[in-house]
Amino acid sequence: NNSIDNYILSRVKDEKNAIYNGIRFSGPTFNSDLELYKDFSNELSIGCTKCYYEKHIGEVNGLYVEEFEVFQIM
């Protein structure tokens, strides 16, 4: 899908907790709001729980991903 009509732009509510880099995670982690991590079978998974950003990113908990892109908005 090349359409950007379905994107979600969610601004940070709490800057101290906006980004987290812990031992468990192997990808970019925006605290619990959007986290990419390797599960117990070493598969790259994605999870979303609304905490420190304005909007809920989506209902994608436990899905497996092959690749992802991260963009910076300036």
pLDDT digits (tens, 9 = 90+) for 4-27: 677 788 899 988 888 877 666 566
The strand pair at 63-64 and 34-38 is best described as unpaired
38 touches 17 (CB < 8 A): no
Neighbour-count burial of 12, counting CB atoms closer than 10 A to its CB (0-12 exposed, 13-18 middle, 19+ buried): middle
* pLDDT reported for residue 1: 52
51 touches 32 (CB < 8 A): yes
Q: What is the pTM of this model?
A: 0.64
